Amino acid sequence: MAEYTTVNEIISKENLVYTKTKVLTDNVMHYCPGCGHSTAHRLIAEVIEEMDIQSKTIGIAPVGCSVFMYNYIDVDTQEASHGRAPALATAIKRLWPDRFVFTYQGDGDLAAIGTAETIHACNRGENITMIFINNGIYGMTGGQMAPTTLLGMKTSTTPYGRDQALMGNPIQITDLIASLPGTYYVSRQAVHTPSYVRKAKKAIRKAFEYQQLNKGTSFVEIVSNCNSGWKMTPVQANRWLDDNMLPVYPLGDIKIPEEK
Amino acid sequence: MAEYTTVNEIISKENLVYTKTKVLTDNVMHYCPGCGHSTAHRLIAEVIEEMDIQSKTIGIAPVGCSVFMYNYIDVDTQEASHGRAPALATAIKRLWPDRFVFTYQGDGDLAAIGTAETIHACNRGENITMIFINNGIYGMTGGQMAPTTLLGMKTSTTPYGRDQALMGNPIQITDLIASLPGTYYVSRQAVHTPSYVRKAKKAIRKAFEYQQLNKGTSFVEIVSNCNSGWKMTPVQANRWLDDNMLPVYPLGDIKIPEEK
Amino acid sequence: MTEEIIIAGFGGQGVLSMGKILCYSGVMQDKEVSWMPSYGPEMRGGTANVTVIISDERISSPILNEYDTAIILNQQSMDKFEPTVKPGGILLYDGNGITRHPERKDISIYRADGAEEAAKMETTRTFNMIMLGAYLKIKPIVEMENVLKGLKKSLPPRYHHLLPLNKKAIQRGMEIIREVNLVNA
Amino acid sequence: MTEEIIIAGFGGQGVLSMGKILCYSGVMQDKEVSWMPSYGPEMRGGTANVTVIISDERISSPILNEYDTAIILNQQSMDKFEPTVKPGGILLYDGNGITRHPERKDISIYRADGAEEAAKMETTRTFNMIMLGAYLKIKPIVEMENVLKGLKKSLPPRYHHLLPLNKKAIQRGMEIIREVNLVNA
Amino acid sequence: MEDEFVLMKGNEAIAEAAIRAGVDGYFGYPITPQSEVMEYLTTAKPWERTGMVVLQAESEVAAINMLYGGAGSGKKVMTSSSSPGISLMQEGISYIAGAELPTVIVNVVRGGPGLGTIQPSQSDYFQATKGGGHGDYHLIVLAPASVQEMADFMELAFDLAFKYRNPTMILSDGAIGQMMEKVKFKPQKKRMTEFPDWATTGKTQDRERNIITSLDLDPYRQEKFNEKLQKKYEDIRQKEVRYEEISCDDAEYLFIAYGTSARICQKSVQLARAEGIKAGLLRPVTLFPFPEKTILSYADKVKGMLSVEMSAGQMVEDIRLSVNGKVPVAHYGRMGGVIPNPQEVVEALKQKIIGG
Amino acid sequence: MEDEFVLMKGNEAIAEAAIRAGVDGYFGYPITPQSEVMEYLTTAKPWERTGMVVLQAESEVAAINMLYGGAGSGKKVMTSSSSPGISLMQEGISYIAGAELPTVIVNVVRGGPGLGTIQPSQSDYFQATKGGGHGDYHLIVLAPASVQEMADFMELAFDLAFKYRNPTMILSDGAIGQMMEKVKFKPQKKRMTEFPDWATTGKTQDRERNIITSLDLDPYRQEKFNEKLQKKYEDIRQKEVRYEEISCDDAEYLFIAYGTSARICQKSVQLARAEGIKAGLLRPVTLFPFPEKTILSYADKVKGMLSVEMSAGQMVEDIRLSVNGKVPVAHYGRMGGVIPNPQEVVEALKQKIIGG
Amino acid sequence: MAKVRGAIVVDTERCKGCEICVVSCPTHVIALSPKVNSKGYHYAYMADPDACTGCMNCGIVCPDGVITVYRKKFETSEV
Amino acid sequence: MAKVRGAIVVDTERCKGCEICVVSCPTHVIALSPKVNSKGYHYAYMADPDACTGCMNCGIVCPDGVITVYRKKFETSEV
Ligand SMILES: Cc1ncc(C[n+]2csc(CCOP(=O)(O)OP(=O)(O)O)c2C)c(N)n1
Ligand SMILES: Cc1ncc(C[n+]2csc(CCOP(=O)(O)OP(=O)(O)O)c2C)c(N)n1
Ligand code: SF4
Ligand code: SF4
Ligand code: SF4
Ligand code: SF4
Ligand code: SF4
Ligand code: SF4
Ligand SMILES: [Mg+2]
Ligand SMILES: [Mg+2]
């Protein structure tokens, strides 16, 4: 069979069906192999490209593994102090109402130290898009417990597993947020399989579209992995995510616009 | 009719049915006439007296009009920095598990600057009692908007009324808290009529009793007045409270133990 | 000329606005002025006071421990501020609710029962203007013309219809003032 | 005697624990030691290194810019640390994955293909012990007896059954080391 | 209001001056003794006048980070607070300094430490001038001594902030914030329509993306950046020193004081001279940069200096560092919200310097 | 572990020493380069060993306020963090100082400002010693220079904190936190069973209620309280100065350095002496109280002093204030996470002091 | 037949004249005095003492805990 | 009859060898190479190129956006 001929025949510009978006820079992402942050970045960049809003978008990077988001997503970006991205976004959006403003935050950032800023930006219904990467751990600092860490899950500060009596329950911050009248669209997604990726991208796109329509806060949680923190291979981590994270953080839209 | 004779006959020790509890000091409270803080203090003191736990109770005063709570309720008390009473309480209770620890906080304290501490103490299910005085305003600093200020309500920072588009909705912090698994008992009460006072006291008593039983966080909101901030007489303020606050913050238990 | 005044009483008696009108009057007369209120939650307790300085020179400290003149509108303020009048200075007070009258012999003491008088006018809000009038009678540091200008400046336009009434109150104050004790300063 | 060493490679190669064992060996021999790792999120990138100092005297700076010895376990580390070896110093490296071999003429260069060798043992985890052995062959700054003691100290008891294997690996390292370039220091 | 004097509180003057300076955004949280700033703004509705955004944040932590965002996107933004609130902002301020963002922060100081009191104080001098946050950074610090300066320094603060891409602090106190004096305002300025080229305004095709960050994990690059900062501070030290000299020409003794204390010392100068003591007042207007050269130049001329502060003695260290032992320097201060009176300051001069 | 040396990171030594010192509670939030403190504690499970409470807080703001609560109720409580986290604690620290609560705060400093870098630095000296929060207060500040001192200073820090009812800070840096050295621990101490009589432990019938507060709205009472604080600081200055002198006896030049910088200067002393330069090292162990008298006493003996710091020059001000112009004082520093090497320090001495 | 009669004692110096007790008394016993206490407050007093049933409403609603309530059962003949 | 065939190009220097694409390919086209790139990662490659349908799964799931996917319709005869 003319195997190689075929491959070479196929690989040509007019047959191109998928390639890295231009809104991602050429910098190699510093994330660990298989880390969902990379995928989430890519989806945001693809949405920005598809909506053709690169010149009108301002991103906010958190403190967390994604602190260097600005090296990868090719839009004007501010790096916020730990947990305060929603405060930055609030000011930027109010001062630049026609720009697309999004925050990108980890679970420690958004749901621990930044709880007040998160809740109040959403309660005010700031017209921004928040992307929330829930990997159940503090990735950047070496795998400590996050507020979303599952019960029994081992981290470097819960080496014997998270104990409810001592550390409480994994916080359902996205549900709290959905209950606030200021949020317009709240969804929980994942990015570790092709079909999840497709759905997640749709959700992110919706979130940006609602921002365009001035609807208030749009919020997309992405249940993600941290294979380094979880001390697994990427493939193991994704399996563990399916088996353990998704039952606690079930995927799907949590709050959808009523008109629909 | 022997009017005065009768009165004098009645006023004697054996006929005493109600007098100020000894757990309130003799200091005249600095609160404005008719302020619900005074009533709430009194109820807490009465519960402490009735449960005979004065020697085992540690209170936490907030920053807000009730900052001087320690001058009135005769228990060991710490004055917290603005919004952080739940953090203090967390540490005290964990270090002194057999003490009764309660926080007393205003709406600015608990639901604005202290949002993160409030949510996380409740999410961890700290075994403490939180008393939350919601008067829809920053009393102490001269009547600025609070997160719980009603839409359209005039305050010194919303002199034309709170506008949802600018300032968001009054936050339903108590409902958020009730949705956290760490809270055991969550109730909303008022203290401006005798029957509300009776119910509020029962709720406060329950809250302390559940603490005794190690059940997790017990939380009592008291929808209260701030006649100075609202610029009304005390009686007008209470009427306004009935007509405007209660529809937005309806009274009653929000989360009750399932066994019951 | 430098005149250092404390005005003290309950919140609601118009203490702060009385000071403000006095200051604006000074501004109208090209004087330097400063107005320094007591502030903060002690207002919960119901008292209010303001330090007013009117001077021909740049004003240094806006907060003082001693005053040329004390205008005192309730008992608590009497207790607090009677001792702070400079020897030879002036104490003006409203007799309403005063249970312990001023006792110093080294200051000039005046009384104007403004509250009583205000009750007879269209609105008791004129109280502070009556007391202002009484003060200006003793110490005409600003001309009447500038007082009226100052009054106008410090009132929002929607209250300008009240100007005549306020003028009347100031004049009334000038009439009802009584000497209680006089010293040569 | 003061020996200043950098050990550098990928995370997972046992760089840090190799340094730790070396230090513990020093402690067993009553020496002063310091162990200073690279730290932080650059670990995301997958590299890891540690500066180890073993000395007879109190150790001053635990962080260095120049080293007596560099033990290099991947290409990135080669690029970074080859230039930092003091003239006359020693560079020891594992050949696996090295695309550009060390070129300096003013230092002594040794190679030990520990990865290859480890693949032949029960577990590839012995890699770092093989390299340690190779190093100790060149610079026997601690006695074998103390190395074994150090090894025991730095391993949690549940791993103590692995001690003989580790000893074997160290010895293997001593055998497989090759000279590439020699200078007189 | 342009041509005539109005009577206003210092806090209100700040607010009105901010509107007139064309400020784009105010973000703050209530605290005594400066709540009038936001109250004035929300009453004046500048969003109708100039489009200015005014937002009551959920906390000072949020407010300072709103400043970061707003300034990072090229806008003129400010906040105001008082001591405890400013302490809460320290992380944010360090970030703003590290990201080199032009912002204006007003501290209407009250007595500390802790919840302290709400009365005027100057005990946040160290925090303001040496850096209360972490890392080697400096704010430009302006110290108004009158309601008029509260107004005037607003525009100046933004000019300096933008000129140097550096946060500026207006270090005031409860007395100046709460008192009314007459004040004249400048005419309304237009809000900016051109934005700095480093700001995150949206990456247009003709340029690379802009990044606002204070992070550089490589210590050598981080050091380079710190050197750049230090050069900037040196530049500011050279060019932006401001002070006022009152009766200094023939002075044998110098009061050195800023803000409310300087108001008091002005009177003390008169009292001292009335007693035949040739006193003068040097009033630093900028606390960073500190007028160290000027002070040093007086070291040969005067017999002693008295630092008068409403604190336990903070600025006195900068005075001592300026004169480096060349002349006796003493400190007189009141604490916890107490304002010294002019006569006691003269007595202190006699005791600590003339007699001492 | 008592009798023998173990190899440990500085961060881990802090944690182990805390357990052994009988600490009642640790409250913290992860941040590089000190996360090992909490990681060690959660692994060691001291709640089983001594009953010690260990809690990961939701933020540094929460953590410092947990300290307030814990210390206010009479317990030995501590936290650790690194620069940005410490900045976030400034309001809380000022409250703790104002309420006079004995607490221990560990700052494992990294390069700033802002997010900066995670490499070691000493640029939080001003914040630690002059008060990064508002108001006139001081922390007692201890500067360990080895893993052994990280361990030893834990008990000392609590002793001083309780002796003076004052917060103590252990000012370390990323290098000392991350490096391993050999360390010997003291035996396990019992946790306290008697509590200070001012603590809120529950009002028993034999006493008035206890109140922990930093508030007094009356400025005159607040001033009295501030005077009491200042007296306490003066007392500490008299009694608690600690420092180490290395080769100072015959020194003509003095390096003054603490922490990691002191480690480097120790080598620099050797290098300088090898070149015939009689250098010595004075290492302040307490940064507040600063060994100003000792330094002054060297002013007559040496020809110059060089402050070596991993900062733009902070401690150098305290040295200058100590000698008040009596001897030349220069600064040499590296910033942003860079550690100077011993040879460059010697060069700096030659250029800035010997040659200059 | 027994009748229940009540009486209250107001700590007039501590009363702030807020009127909450006045509007809370089911039998309209209480009014504010035209006189003021030393703080300047018109304090509460029993304007219609006969009507008092000792129901305690005023006592438990008074913010400042200023009211002490007494109650006694009388035989109707007694009254 | 038309058949859809696909092919992928892996940017091997950027590939981190995470294997996510491997487990996501419905037709098991991809494997990790025994060789490593300069970063030391075993990179992904088309081990069974014939099986590729150009479904894009690998491309959209690859975290690092390392895979470019091509797809072409062939007449069956062509293949
Ligand atoms: C004020 C402050 N506290 C703590 C840190 C340390 N820190 C950096 S990232 C991080 C948490 C990261 O976790 P998460 O937000 O879940 O992001 P991830 O790395 O998991 O994506 C922490 C605690 C910091 N930089 N600043
Ligand atoms: C950090 C800080 N920010 C702001 C303040 C000023 N402040 C004091 S009380 C208060 C709000 C009080 O409102 P609330 O909590 O509703 O209590 P209330 O007085 O209404 O009972 C504020 C903002 C402060 N003391 N500290
Ligand atoms: S540490 Fe975790 S979150 Fe961070 S890059 Fe690695 S896998 Fe991703
Ligand atoms: S200001 Fe409001 S909350 Fe405060 S005491 Fe007065 S009425 Fe009560
Ligand atoms: S409720 Fe209490 S304070 Fe109010 S008027 Fe009645 S007795 Fe007085
Ligand atoms: S006890 Fe009842 S009836 Fe008597 S005065 Fe009070 S409220 Fe009225
Ligand atoms: S998913 Fe991407 S990075 Fe991972 S192995 Fe496949 S091509 Fe490489
Ligand atoms: S395009 Fe589809 S079939 Fe082809 S390699 Fe990728 S996942 Fe497999
Ligand atoms: Mg995370
Ligand atoms: Mg309130």
Rounded average pLDDT over F156-175:
98
Q: How confident is the model at residue A6 (pLDDT cuts 50, 70, 90)?
A: confident
- Alpha carbon of D37: minimum distance to chain A alpha carbons (Å): 14
Q: What is the CATH number of domain F244-354?
A: 3.40.50.920
- What share of chain F has pLDDT > 90, as a percent? 97
The Cα-based distances of E4 to A141, D106, E151 in angstroms read 59, 81, 14
Nearest ligand 1 atom to alpha carbon A133: 21
Alpha helices in A11-111 (DSSP H): 36-51, 85-95, 107-108
Helix or strand holding residue C5 (H, E): strand C2-10
Pick from C27, C63, C153: which is nearest to E175 by CB?
C63
Interface partners of chain C (CB pairs < 8 Å, 3 or more) are B, E, F, G
Distance CA B138, CA B155 (A): 9
Question: Which site among F59, F88, F110 would you substitute to test the A interface, given the most A Cβ atoms closer than 10 Å to its Cβ?
Answer: F59
Has residue B89 been placed in a domain? yes
Rounded average pLDDT over E261-274:
95
pLDDT tens for residues E50-78? Answer: 999 999 999 999 999 999 999 999 999 99
**More confident site: E64 or B9:** E64
Q: Which residues approach ligand 7 with their CB closer than 6 A?
A: H 10, 15-21, 43-44, 62, 64, 66-67
Q: How far is the CA of C103 from the centre of ligand 7 (A)?
A: 93
Q: Is the CB of G51 under 6 A from ligand 5?
A: no
Rounded average pLDDT over A173-196:
98
- What share of chain A has pLDDT > 70, as a percent? 97
**E58–B158 CB contact, under 8 Å:** no
Q: How far is the CA of C46 from the centre of ligand 3 (A)?
A: 59
**F42–A166 CB contact, under 8 Å:** no
Distance CA E339, CA E331 (A): 15
Nearest ligand 5 atom to alpha carbon G30: 6
Domain positions in chain E are 6-201+229-237, 244-354
**Which of E152, E115, E132 lies closest to E31, judged by CA?**
E115
Domains and CATH numbers, chain H: 2-75 (3.30.70.20)
Contacts of A67 in chain D (CB under 8 A): 41
**Which of E120, F300, F238, A123 lies closest to C37, judged by CA?**
E120
For ligand 7, pick from H37, H41, H67, H69 the residue to mutate: most ligand atoms within 8 Å of CB.
H67
**C10–G38 CB contact, under 8 Å:** no
Rounded average pLDDT over B46-50:
98
Distance from chain centroid for Cα A246: 15
**Which of B101, B43, B96 lies closest to B72, judged by CA?**
B43
Q: Is-above-0.80 flag for pTM?
A: yes
How many helices (H) and strands (E) chain D has is answered by 6, 7
Has residue B260 been placed in a domain? no
Q: Which residues contact H13 (CB under 8 A, 6 or more apart)?
A: H37, H38, H39, H43
**B84: CATH:** 3.40.50.970
Nearest ligand 5 atom to alpha carbon G16: 3
Strands A16-18 and H67-75: antiparallel
Chain D CB within 8 Å of residue F260 CB:
yes
Q: Is the pLDDT of residue E31 over 70?
A: yes
Distance CA A75, CA A70 (A): 7
Note down the domain range covering C151.
2-178
For ligand 4, pick from B28, B30, B37 the residue to mutate: most ligand atoms within 8 Å of CB.
B37
pLDDT tens for residues D47-90? Answer: 789 999 999 988 988 888 899 999 999 988 999 999 999 999 99
Distance CA F93, CA C40 (A): 24
Q: What share of chain E is helix, strand, coil (3-state, %, to 5)?
A: 40, 20, 40
pLDDT tens for residues E81-136? Answer: 999 999 999 999 999 999 999 999 999 999 999 999 999 999 999 999 998 999 99
pLDDT tens for residues E42-52? Answer: 999 999 999 99
Lowest mean pLDDT among A119-133, E303-317, H28-42: H28-42
Rounded average pLDDT over D117-129:
90
- What share of chain B has pLDDT > 70, as a percent? 97
Q: Are A131 and A201 in contact (CB under 8 A)?
A: no
Q: Is the pLDDT of residue F12 over 70?
A: yes
Q: Is the CB of G8 under 6 A from ligand 5?
A: no
Interface partners of chain D (CB pairs < 8 Å, 3 or more) are A, E, F, H
**Which of E95, E48, E43, E47 lies closest to E71, judged by CA?**
E95
Q: How many C-beta neighbours within 10 Å does residue C65 have?
A: 12
Q: Is the pLDDT of residue A112 over 60?
A: yes
Measured between CA atoms, the residue of chain F closest to residue C39 is: F217
Q: Is the CB of G6 under 6 A from ligand 5?
A: no
- What share of chain E has pLDDT > 70, as a percent? 99
Q: Tell whether the torsion through CA atoms of D167, D170, D171 and D176 is positive or negative.
A: positive
The Cα-based distances of F326 to A38, E72, E158, F294, F351 in angstroms read 60, 46, 41, 13, 20
Contacts of F59 in chain A (CB under 8 A): 83, 112-113
Q: Is the CB of A108 under 6 A from ligand 1?
A: yes
- What share of chain E has pLDDT > 90, as a percent? 97
Query: What ipTM does the predicted assembly reach?
Result: 0.97
Note down the domain range covering A191.
30-255
Question: Which site among F121, F179, F183, F345 would you substitute to test the D interface, given the most D Cβ atoms closer than 10 Å to its Cβ?
Answer: F179
pLDDT of residue E131: 80
The Cα-based distances of F355 to B249, C166, F282, F350 in angstroms read 76, 79, 21, 6
Rounded average pLDDT over F160-173:
98
pLDDT of residue H1: 61
Q: Are D101 and D120 in contact (CB under 8 A)?
A: no
DSSP character at residue B182: T
Contacts of F28 in chain A (CB under 8 A): none
- What share of chain F has pLDDT > 70, as a percent? 99
Q: How far is the CA of C23 from the centre of ligand 1 (A)?
A: 55
Chain C CB within 8 Å of residue E341 CB:
yes
pLDDT tens for residues E208-251? Answer: 999 999 999 889 999 999 999 999 999 999 999 999 999 999 99
**D75: CATH:** 3.40.920.10
Q: Is the pLDDT of residue D10 over 90?
A: no
pLDDT tens for residues F52-63? Answer: 999 999 999 999
Q: Is residue G47 classed exposed, middle or buried when 0-12, 13-18 and 19+ CB atoms within 10 A define those classes?
A: middle
- Alpha carbon of C7: minimum distance to chain G alpha carbons (Å): 18
pLDDT tens for residues A207-257? Answer: 999 999 999 999 999 999 999 999 999 999 999 999 999 999 999 999 999
Q: Is the CB of A135 under 6 A from ligand 3?
A: yes
Rounded average pLDDT over B228-253:
97
**D10–H40 CB contact, under 8 Å:** yes
Question: Which site among B228, B231, B232, B233 would you substitute to test the C interface, given the most C Cβ atoms closer than 10 Å to its Cβ?
Answer: B228
Number of domains in chain C: 1
**Which of A127, A123, A74, A84 lies closest to A104, judged by CA?**
A84
- Alpha carbon of C66: minimum distance to chain E alpha carbons (Å): 10
Average pLDDT, chain B: 96
Q: Are F83 and F109 in contact (CB under 8 A)?
A: yes
Chain E CB within 8 Å of residue F331 CB:
no
List B residues 178-217 in contact with C (Cβ-Cβ < 8 A): none
Has residue D183 been placed in a domain? no
Has residue C98 been placed in a domain? yes
Kindly write down the DSSP assignment for every residue of E76-131, as one continuous string.
-EEEEE-HHHHHHTHHHHHHHHHTT---EEEEEEB--STTB-SSB--TTHHIIIII
pLDDT tens for residues E153-202? Answer: 999 999 999 999 999 999 999 999 999 999 999 999 999 999 999 999 99
Q: How confident is the model at residue G79 (pLDDT cuts 50, 70, 90)?
A: very low
**Which of E70, E107, E93 lies closest to E191, judged by CA?**
E70
Distance CA F103, CA F83 (A): 18
Pick from H18, H54, H71: which is nearest to A34 by CB?
H18
Q: Using CA positions, which residue lies closest to atom 1 of ligand 3?
A: A139
pLDDT of residue G77: 61
Which segments within chain E are labelled E, that is strand? 6-9, 25-28, 53-56, 77-81, 104-109, 140-142, 168-173, 180-183, 211-212, 243-246, 253-256, 279-284, 286-288, 304-309, 329-333
pLDDT tens for residues C106-158? Answer: 999 999 999 999 999 888 889 999 999 999 999 999 999 999 999 999 888 89
Q: Are F180 and D34 in contact (CB under 8 A)?
A: yes
Chain D CB within 8 Å of residue E220 CB:
no
pLDDT of residue F80: 98
pLDDT of residue A4: 57
**Which of B67, C50, C48, C12 lies closest to E178, judged by CA?**
C50
Q: Using CA positions, which residue lies closest to atom 3 of ligand 8?
A: H52
Distance from chain centroid for Cα A152: 24
- Alpha carbon of G15: minimum distance to chain C alpha carbons (Å): 13
**Interface residues of chain G, partner chain C, Cβ below 8 Å:** 36, 38-40
**G19–B17 CB contact, under 8 Å:** no
DSSP character at residue A244: I
Q: Is the pLDDT of residue C36 over 90?
A: yes
User: What torsion, rounded to 10 degrees, do the Cα atoms H62, H64, H67, H69 define?
Assistant: 70
Pick the CATH number of F6-201+229-237 from 3.30.360.10, 3.90.1170.50, 3.40.50.970, 3.30.420.40: 3.40.50.970
Tokens representing residue A250 in the block: 């079930």
Q: How confident is the model at residue C42 (pLDDT cuts 50, 70, 90)?
A: very low
Number of domains in chain A: 1
pLDDT of residue H79: 47
Are B and F touching by the rule of 3+ CB pairs within 8 Å?
yes
Average pLDDT, chain A: 96
Q: How confident is the model at residue A1 (pLDDT cuts 50, 70, 90)?
A: very low
Nearest ligand 4 atom to alpha carbon B224: 3
Q: Using CA positions, which residue lies closest to atom 8 of ligand 4?
A: B35
Q: How confident is the model at residue B5 (pLDDT cuts 50, 70, 90)?
A: low
Q: How confident is the model at residue E2 (pLDDT cuts 50, 70, 90)?
A: low
Which strands, in side-by-side order, build the sheet including G2-10? B16-18, G67-75, G2-10
- Alpha carbon of C2: minimum distance to chain F alpha carbons (Å): 27
Distance CA H75, CA D107 (A): 65
Tokens representing residue F187 in the block: 């035996």
Chain D CB within 8 Å of residue F267 CB:
yes
**H39–D46 CB contact, under 8 Å:** yes
Q: Which residues contact E152 (CB under 8 A, 6 or more apart)?
A: E17, E144, E186
Q: Are B87 and F25 in contact (CB under 8 A)?
A: no
Q: Is the CB of A227 under 6 A from ligand 3?
A: yes
Angle at D143 between CA D138 and CA D148, to 5 degrees: 110
pLDDT of residue G76: 67
Lowest mean pLDDT among A203-217, C27-41, F79-93, F266-280: C27-41
Rounded average pLDDT over B39-50:
98
Q: How confident is the model at residue B259 (pLDDT cuts 50, 70, 90)?
A: low
Q: Using CA positions, which residue lies closest to atom 4 of ligand 8?
A: H52
Residue D111 has φ and ψ, to the nearest 5°, of -130, 140
Rounded average pLDDT over F284-307:
98
Helix or strand holding residue B92 (H, E): helix B85-95
Strands D67-72 and F243-246: unpaired
Q: Is residue A198 classed exposed, middle or buried when 0-12, 13-18 and 19+ CB atoms within 10 A define those classes?
A: middle
pLDDT of residue E120: 95
pLDDT tens for residues F66-114? Answer: 999 999 999 999 999 999 999 999 999 999 999 999 999 999 999 999 9
Which strands, in side-by-side order, build the sheet including A183-190? A252-255, A183-190, A217-223, A129-134, A100-106, A57-61, A76-79, E211-212
- Alpha carbon of F78: minimum distance to chain E alpha carbons (Å): 19
User: What torsion, rounded to 10 degrees, do the Cα atoms C51, C56, C59, C61 define?
Assistant: -50
Has residue A46 been placed in a domain? yes
Contacts of B217 in chain A (CB under 8 A): none
Tokens representing residue B191 in the block: 């203290």
